Amino acid sequence: MACRPPSPHPAPPTARSGARGLSLALLAAALLAPLPWHSPGRAAESEAEVVRSERGPVRVSTLTSGLDFPWSLAFLPDGRMLVTERPGRLRILGKDGALEPRPVDGLPKVAVVGQGGLLDVVLHPAFATNRWVYLSFASGDADGVGTEVVRGRLVEQPGRARLEDVQSLFRMAPRSTRGQHFGSRLAFDARGFLYITLGDRGEMQRAQRLDDHAGSVIRLHDDGRVPADNPFVRTPGAKPEKFTLGNRNIQGAAIHPVTGELWTHEHGPQGGDEVNVIRAGRNYGWPVITHGVNYGIGTRIGEGTARAGMEQPLARWTPSIAPSGMAFYTGTAFPAWKGNLLVGALRGQALHRLELDGEKVVHEERLLQGQARIRDVRVGPDGLVYLLTDERNGRLLRLDPPPR
């Protein structure tokens, strides 16, 4: 598991070798003072701190606290938000962060075990007309637990909301009795394909098996059908839903705003967290190759750090920052961040801002360092940045330019 006690001096990521080879210089921004708490569900725009960054000042406001291990955030068309809580609740927050007291009804049964629970939430690209909400979560049966994805139509009435017509679109197989590495980020691309990221469930060799969903990215149509051009559809014995293999535990996924490709990051073991571009049929190496080592004893895993036919990451972190949540900045509120990749860190307790030149990471800045485990990162329709903190009294933070 990558979520280990934080190192006081985390090292910068190292860019991939060869044509993309770059050493990433690391400049730490001034640290953020602890953010004030307030009662759950209450808007708190006046409770803000201004921090310095390399690209100008940033105001950090606590919009909501009292969330129970929040995991993911999605924006409704009217500016309100859906937030998942890992213990199994889907919440609605107002545009100002006010938390509606009653959770959304109609959710499937969630298995809250280890790192599992209610995980990601995304809206269908045509949500405004079809009202489909997609959820990933850990589900259990007699064979164990695994990642499942459902969709349901969000129906709202005064004071209450529920999911109706809930449909299961995907269930990981085989199941497992372990409680880690569920993966579970969801993303839609411009063609309407749904991507699901899956961890290896703590059973590393599964990531190299084509007849196993674990340790891969899944690609489906929006209704759960398997696309005819998936890379392993015609491979005997392979799971046709698989789009990649050799992934350890992907907890960040975002569509590149220019190329339309899926970018991800994944947890390494003791070091070796990765940023990758996801492409059909590619093998991302775990556990045959990795830039991490075995926990505690520091011994090599697999064959080393490279092998022909296996992908090298665009960037990596050693020691591990335990990345979670990821977004490309596409707004106008922070023009100097345009096109940057924003990555949350659990173990590293920071927001990482990566400057890109194509598929090269040319510079990194760490913001809010040491303040909280950042679980999710989203860019809102207002161009501001929203963060969820991973804690029992979890917070929704908003980053915006300070008033002049």
Domain spanning 13-400: CATH 1.25.40.10 = no
The two tokens of residue 341 are 């990749």
* 221 catalytic per annotation: no
- What letter represents residue 246's amino acid? G
Q: What is the C-alpha radius of gyration for the chain, rounded to an integer number of angstroms?
A: 20
Report phi then psi at 68, rounded to 5.
-100, 95
Count the helix, strand and coil residues of the chain and give each as a percent rounded to the nearest 5: 5, 40, 55
**Beta carbons within 8 Å of 344's beta carbon, 6+ residues apart:** 252, 323, 324, 325, 326, 350, 351, 352, 374, 375, 376, 377, 387
- 240, 226 contact by CB (below 8 A): yes
Residue appearing with tokens 């129906």: 155
Distance CA 210, CA 288 (A): 15
Look at residue 38 in the predicted model and tell me its pLDDT: 36
SS3 337: helix
The two tokens of residue 342 are 């924003």
What is the maximal distance between C-alpha atoms in the chain?
A: 63
Q: Which listed residue (124, 181, 265, 352) is catalytic? A: 181
**pLDDT by residue, tens only, the chain of 404 residues:** 333 333 333 344 444 433 333 333 332 333 333 333 333 444 444 468 999 999 999 999 999 999 999 999 999 999 999 999 999 999 999 999 999 999 999 999 999 999 999 999 999 999 999 999 999 999 999 999 999 999 999 999 998 999 999 999 999 999 999 999 999 999 999 999 999 999 999 999 999 999 999 999 999 999 999 999 999 999 999 999 999 999 999 999 999 999 999 999 999 999 999 999 999 999 999 999 999 999 989 999 999 999 999 999 999 999 999 999 999 999 999 999 999 999 999 999 999 999 999 999 999 999 999 999 999 999 999 999 999 999 999 999 999 999 88
C-alpha closest to that of 371 among 36, 4, 11? 36
C-alpha closest to that of 248 among 289, 210, 220? 289
Distance CA 331, CA 200 (A): 34
First to last CA, the chain: 44
SS3 128: helix
Look at residue 9 in the predicted model and tell me its pLDDT: 34
Look at residue 404 in the predicted model and tell me its pLDDT: 81
Distance CA 83, CA 236 (A): 40
Distance CA 11, CA 303 (A): 24
